[in-house]
Every structure is written in C-alpha cells, then in structure tokens.
Structure 1
Amino acid sequence: MYLQHFGLVEAPFSLTPNTGFFFGLAPHVEALQVLQTALQTGEGFIKVTGEVGTGKTLICRKLLNDIPKRFHCAYLPNPYLTPDELRWAVALELGLKYSASIDQQQLTSLIQQQLIALSAHGHSIVLVLDEAQALPDESLEALRLFTNLETESRKLLQVVLFAQPELDERLRLNKFRQLRQRITFSYQLRPLTRPETNAYLSHRLQIAGYKGQPLFSLADSKRIAKAARGIPRLINILSHKALLLAFGEGLSVVSPHHVRAAINDTEDAEPIWGAKPWWLGAIGVASILSIVVWRWIVGGVA
C-alpha cells in the first residue's frame, strides 16, 4: 500500500524469507561459516538452533542457494513425518523411482544404492531439515540410522538440522545420547543487537529501493530493537506497521508515536516504558489503518 508513497519498489519488511534481502549480520554470517566448514569435513550431524523468528529458514535457503555444485542436497521443509514417511521423502528427494509396494527394508537398500551411486559421481549428499524440532522421536532415531550408511572412508550422508531450542532440550534426554554424540558442529543463533537492528532496517529499505533520508531515527530503531528483543521477524512486523501508520498520516518519515503504536498493537512485542495500554494502541492502529485502506482504494496507491 505504501510503496509509491515512500519510493519503494518492493515491500521491505515482508515476513517471507527472501535471500535477496540477506544482510551479512554477525550471527547469520557465523552460522553460515559453521555450516560451510562442517560440510567440508563430510561427517556427522550439523545443527543450527534459534528462537522463533531469528532467521533460521533464511539461512537455510541461503545455504541451499550458495552450496557448491558438488553437493547434492535433499531438502525437507516439513519433517513432521513418521520413520516410514521420512524414508519415502528422502528417497523422493534423491530422485529415486520406486514402486509403492516395496517394503521399508527394500526402500532403505535402494536409498543406500543411490547414495553410493551419487558419491561415485563425486557428489557429497546432504539432507537438510527445517523445523527439525517437529521430528517425532522415532523419526529422530531413523535419521540417526541413515548416517550409518557409509563406505570405508566416508559417510554417505550428512544431515543439517535447523530447529527451535526445543530440539536441544529433547537431545539432552538419555535416549538420544547416540544422536547427540554424532552432532559434530552446532550453532545457536542470537538476537540482533541495537546497532545491528539499525543497520538491518537501513539495509532492507535500501534493497527495497528507498533512497531518501532515514525513515527511522536512531532512537526509533532502538525502540524497535528493544520491543522486538532483537528478533528479526518481530523487527519486520513493527517496522511494517510503523510505515503503514506514517503513510496513513501522509508523512514522509516515521515518528516515535508511530513506533509506540506499532509496539502496543503487537502481541509478542515487549511494551516500552510509559506506553499506553495495549487496547488504546490497538484502537489507534485500527483507526489509522482504516484511513490507509481508504487512501489505497480511492487513490489507487501502490
């Protein structure tokens, strides 16, 4: 709605992970460096964990986009699968053609043969799972058994897990000690600092085509960083709402009251000191958003 108003060519704070907006912030760069180093070793499990909204899926997509061609990647974005479903999904990702009538032992044998064939052609095979905390216990064990597939000199399959911290809690259980010991590299994503948040806002606006004076003051970016607890997804939500409110008032920059209203209107944001009750903030946002919609409909604003 506000793209033309601010001179933007695309939405700067979309919640969809878009590698075109990737910014070389320390936690994300460090995570990618750990992944790249670990993949070069060719052994075991690799794990990246982080709270909801810290950028795990973005890093996952960045890894898949930039991984060298010698790697053959099998990607499972939704691993809430039984052990049998997990094997079928891996087989499909490896390009296997099979009959649905074969049993699990035969399927495992076919997967091993395919891994050996790919390895013989110079491929390193990597299984990447996003949202890995959703894996049932039995499927975690099936995943561990996949890494038993090996030649005399190397593992046939590496596994990269992207997960919320709940996976770490589960892996501390005694029944997962064998899997835990196979995790050779791990990294835990941290929230963004306030200076990183300010740089993050500027970067996304620049990528989206903005060329004017800063839309967010340093003080407002600090407010957003604090309220969002440094979580990129919340930073995007708050920034998007603040831009909507500025647009609704016909202003060219974001003001502190826009940021406060956006914070008050967002359930998971940390209220700022002296903020109004959440329901007053919500009323303010709802009122201005109705103006935004009206302007968009009447004026045909992009």
Structure 2
Amino acid sequence: MYNKFYGFSENPFNPTPDPRFLFLSIGHYETLSSMISGIKERKGITVISGDVGTGKTTLIYALLKDLSERIKTAFVFNTKISFQDLLIYILMDLEVSVPKENLTTLLVLFRQYLKERMIRDETVAIIIDEAQNLEFEVMENLFRLYSEDSPAAKLVQILLVGQPELEAKLDSQKLQAFKNRFAIRNYLKPLNQKESGEYIDHRLKVVGSSSSKVFTPQAIDRISKFSNGIPRVINILCDRAFLTGYTTSSRKIDEEIVKDTIKELSHLKSHRTVSQLGVRPLYAILVIVILAVIGFGTLYFFNWDSNLKLSLKRSEKTILLEEILIKKEKSIGKEAKKATERVVSAKKGWTLSLLALQYYNNVNPTFIDLILEFNPQITDLNRIFVNQQIKIPSITEELFLIQAPNQSYKIYLGTFSDEQFGHSFRKTFVLKGKTLEVVPRKVSPQDTWLRVLAGEFKTREEGLRAIQALRQKGLLPAFVGSPK
C-alpha cells in the first residue's frame, strides 16, 4: 500500500520469512553455521532454540537454500502430530510414495530409502520447526531413527528448532537416554541495539532504500529499544509506522509517529526472556507456572474496557451459553456459502494443513476452520480420506461478513487455538464500541478452538470498511498469506 509512496520495490517488512532479507548478526551467523556444520559433517542431532520472532524459521529457509543436492531434506513445521503422521510427512517430503499408512510399513520404507542413499553416499536431513510441540513419545521414536545400530541410520541428521521450552523438554528425565546424542545445542539471541538499527537498514536496502532516507535517528532508536532486538516485533512496528506515515503523507518516519505506533502495539513489548536471564530451564518452568497462576487470577478480576467485551471465563453457565452460540453461529454466514470455491480430491498422506499451505501459502487455525466450514462432513481436522472431495473456499473480504437476524452485520475476525488473541483487537480503534463474541469451535474429538466475531455494524458497507481496515493493519489471520 505504501511501497510506491516511499519508493520501495516491495514491502521491506513483510512478516513472512524470506531468505532474501536475511540479516546475519553475529548470533545469527553462528547459529546458521552450527546448523550447516551439524548436517554437512553428520554430527547427529542439532538443537537450535530461541524466543518467538528471533528469526529461527528464516535461518531454516536460508539453510535449505544452501544445502547441496547430495543432502536430501524433509522439512516439518506441523508438530502437534503422532510419530506415524510425522513419518508420513518426512517420507512425502523425501518424495517417497506412501502406499500404506501403518507404522511398520512406513518404517520399512524409510529404512529402504536410507539404504539407497547410503549407496550414493548421500545425507538425509530431517528439519523440524516448532519442535517444542513434539510429544515425548514422538521425540523418542524420532531419535531412534538416528540411533539404530546400522550404517544407514548414521546418514540421518536431525535438526530441531524451537522455542526455549524445547531445551527444558530435552533435559527432562524422559529423554535422558538420548542426551549424549545432542552434538550441537545453540541458543539464538535477540539483536542488540546496534544490530537492530543495522537490521532495519539492511531490509530497506534490499527494496532500494535506506534507513536514513525514511527514518529519523530518534525513530530508529525508539524502535530498537521497544523491540528488545526481536526481528518480528521490529517488522510489525516498522510496517505499521509506514502505514501511519502514508496516511498522514509523512515522507520520513519520525519519533512521534513511532511513539503513536508503539501505543497501539504496546502488547508486543518484549521483555527479557528466561534464557537471556540465565535461569535454568527447570526453575524457569516453576517460575512460569507460578506466574501463570497469578496471571489467571488477575485475569479473573481484570475489568476489560466496557466498549469491547471479551468473555474468557469458563463456568458451567458459560459452557451452556457457548453451546447455544455454536448452534446460532454454526455457519459463518450466508455470504460464505456464496463464496467461490474449488474442489480437490484428497490424495494419500494429505492433511488440512497441507491443503491450507498449498492454496493459501500459509497455515493457521483460521484457514483450517474455513475449510472445515465448507466441508461439514469432516469432523476431525486430523483425518481426511483418500479420494474425499474437499471444497477450498477463495479468500475474499465478503466471506467474513455475517448478516444477523436483525439485519445488522457482524464480522468474522478469525479462529484461534488459544485465548491470546484479545490484546490486538482490544486496542484497535476500528472496533471501538463493538463487542467481541467468542464461540467454541470443535475441530476434532480432542481439540476445541475459538472463533471470534465482532459487531454490530449497522450496514454492509460499514462492516466491509472495518474488515478492510483490520486487513491493512495485519490483524486478520486469513489475509497473512497470498492465496493462489
């Protein structure tokens, strides 16, 4: 939107990981070097941890781009799965046909693949992002692929990338048998203040500009301090500042614009992490549990802004109300049923996550919920069948507009796997005076997500304007990808 105004060839602060924008601070260089050497030198299991938004996934993409053809890679990012499903993902990414889905057959196929690679002296790298979400049993079985007593098994190189909780999990008693197998363990630190300024300048140079052209030094300094060196926070803050600058016709982002932007994004404030403070993981878990108890107690008494009501407490009466809401809001709306859609026939090994990635270039609960909404025959997001006909809706702004029985309108903001969505919506001017409705969404026998609606809007046009404004601010998860 603002690229032409500032002379950018493209958006310099797109939150989607892109190795073209890779900035190698000392910490990022050391981490990438560890990842490369761990795989190329066949060291076994490499572990990379770091806080949310520090650039771990971008490093993975840079790694994949750098590896030679003699290293066959399987990249897994959907980690809340069973070991059998993980093995299916791995084999599919290695371009191995998966005719049957029982675990024994899958293991035979994997071992046969390793024997073929051993003849060619090739390496097989299994790269797993968000590894902290893997269950202990899944980790144990994964590590056994490398630990098997056979020459072919030594070809397997495992790279685990995740948040600091990963370290605590690996240090647990349940995985003590594999502790000596972890050849490299590296923690990716946030950028320091000098590196934060260099990071901003680097991304701007990629799109044909520089920080001196579009930022004042004071603005850069304030962004660096607020972000605490977290690249994702820097990206979001800079993007929002440019949007503000564009709407006010400001050719240069100054400190006042950044201060106003920070007020709107105060929930993104990054504090020093457990890892940065040097707290041992087991003590860290204890601290987190205590803080969580205090936090939930505080949340119970916290009075949300009267103009934006969000009910988070789950009592028996609330659950009963939610069951009524589920029936009332079962359909996203009449407009949804009119949306353009395509029909695909499911193939062996397909999942809803893979479909979302294929057709929306991204995976999040909102995309999966939309697919489920158009396919009521699917009652478990983890289970679809071969040759099953699945409707894939096109993402349009009209899809998120819902007409209420009283002829007013609500907008569908998105679907979330937990209750951390409220901060950004609560501070948004577009939703001032509106009420948020939280509707439970059963997506599998074990999992319930939260569908969030906002209203009421008197006219269709008012609702669409709100959707467009929220989309421009990057608050609607359905528009984070680029639908094909």
Settle same-fold status: TM greater than 0.5: yes
Residue 30 in structure 1 maps to residue 19 in structure 2 = no
Query: Conserved in 1, the CA contact under 8 Å of 2:129 and 2:160?
Result: yes
8 Å CA contact 2:218–2:254 kept in 1: the answer is no
Deviations along 1:85-109, whole A, 9 cap, x unmatched? 12222222232224226x3223212
Counterpart of 2:216 in structure 1 is 217
Alpha-carbon distance in structure 2 between the residues aligned to 1:114 and 1:202: 45
Distance 1:153 1:76, change over 3 A: closer
- Mapping for residues 226-241 of structure 1, pairs under 5 Å: 226-241=225-240
Stretch moving more, 55-64 or 148-157? 148-157
How far 1:212 sits from its partner (Å)? 8.3
Q: Return the letter of the residue paired with 1:201.
A: I
Verify the 8 A CA contact 1:202 1:214 in the aligned structure 2: no
User: Which residue pairs with 1:207 in the alignment?
Assistant: 206
Q: Is 1:45–1:161's contact at 8 Å kept on the other side of the alignment?
A: yes
Q: Which moved more, 1:182-191 or 1:78-87?
A: 78-87
Give CA-to-partner distance per residue, 1:205-232, whole Å, 9 cap, x none.
1111226843222322221111111100
**Counterpart residue identity of residue 110, structure 1:** L
Please, which runs of 5 or more residues in structure 2 have no aligned partner? 271-422, 433-464, 473-484
TM-score, structure 1 normalization: 0.86
In the alignment, is the contact (CA less than 8 A) between 1:150 and 1:156 conserved in 2? no
SS across alignment from 1:72: strand
Q: Does 1:20 align with 2:20?
A: yes
Distance 1:153 1:133, change over 3 A: closer
The superposition leaves residues 113-172 of structure 1 with CA deviations (integer Å, 9 ceiling, x where unpaired) of 111101211211110011111111111111111112454487120100110111111122
- Does 2:70 match 1:70? yes
Over residues 170-194 of structure 1, what are the superposed CA-to-partner deviations in whole Å (9 max), with x where a residue is unaligned? Answer: 1221111123321101211111111
Q: Which residue of 2 aligns with 1:275?
A: none
Change (3 A) 1:213 1:94: closer
Q: For the Cα contact (< 8 Å) 1:245–1:285, is it kept in 2?
A: no
Residues 1:54 and 1:152: Cα distance change in structure 2 (over 3 Å): same
The letter for the 2-side match of 1:228 is: S
Identical columns (%)? 28
Aligned pairs (5 A) from 1:134-153: 134-149=133-148, 151-152=150-151
- Within a 5 Å distance, the mapping from 1:160-175 to structure 2 comes to 160-175=159-174
> How many angstroms apart in 2 are the aligned matches of 1:60 and 1:46?
13
Identify if the C-alpha distance between structure 1 residues 90 and 270 changes in structure 2 by more than 3 Å, giving closer, same or farther. Answer: closer
Q: Structure 1: which 5+ runs fail to align?
A: 272-277, 297-302
Secondary structure at the counterpart of residue 47 of structure 2: strand
User: How do 1:1-302 and structure 2 match up within 5 A?
Assistant: 1-100=1-100, 103-149=102-148, 151-152=150-151, 155-210=154-209, 213-270=212-269
Task: Please report how far the alpha carbon of residue 237 of structure 1 lies from its aligned counterpart in structure 2 after TM superposition.
Answer: 0.7
SS across alignment from 2:155: coil
Shift of 1:23: 1.6
Tell me the distance in 2 between the aligned counterparts of 1:41 and 1:9: 39
One-letter code aligned to 1:145: R
Relative to structure 1, is the Cα distance of residues 201 and 286 closer, same or farther in structure 2, using a 3 angstrom cutoff? farther
> Following the alignment from structure 1 to structure 2, what is the Cα–Cα distance between the partners of residues 108 and 11?
44
Amino acid at match of 1:88: I
Note if contact 2:44-2:181 (Cα within 8 Å) is conserved in structure 1: yes
Instruction: Answer 1 or 2: which has greater strand percent.
Output: 2
Q: Say if 1:48 and 1:252 are closer, same or farther in 2 by CA, change over 3 A.
A: same
Looking at structure 2, the residues matched to 179 and 285 of structure 1 have their Cα atoms a distance apart, in angstroms, of: 52
Contact 1:53 1:232 in 2 (8 A): yes
Moved more, 200-209 or 144-153: 144-153
- Aligned partners of 2:4, 2:65: CA distance in 1, in Å? 31
Q: Conserved in 1, the CA contact under 8 Å of 2:147 and 2:153?
A: no
8 A contact 2:73–2:125 mirrored in 1: yes
Q: What SS does the aligned partner of 2:31 have?
A: helix
Change (3 A) 1:230 1:6: same
Per the TM alignment, residue 283 of structure 1 is displaced from its structure 2 partner at its CA by 7.2
Cα offset for 1:233? 0.2
SS of 2:268's partner is coil
Larger relative contact order (CA 8 Å, sep ≥ 6): 1
Q: In the superposition, relative to structure 1, how do residues 213 and 179 fare at CA in structure 2: closer, same or farther (>3 Å)? A: same
What RMSD in Å do the two structures reach over aligned CA positions?
2.8
CA distance in structure 2 between the aligned counterparts of 1:109 and 1:154, rounded to whole angstroms: 13
Local SS of the residue matching 2:72: strand
Q: How many residue pairs are counted as aligned between the two chains? A: 284
Distance in 1 between residues matched to 2:229 and 2:210, nearest whole Å: 25
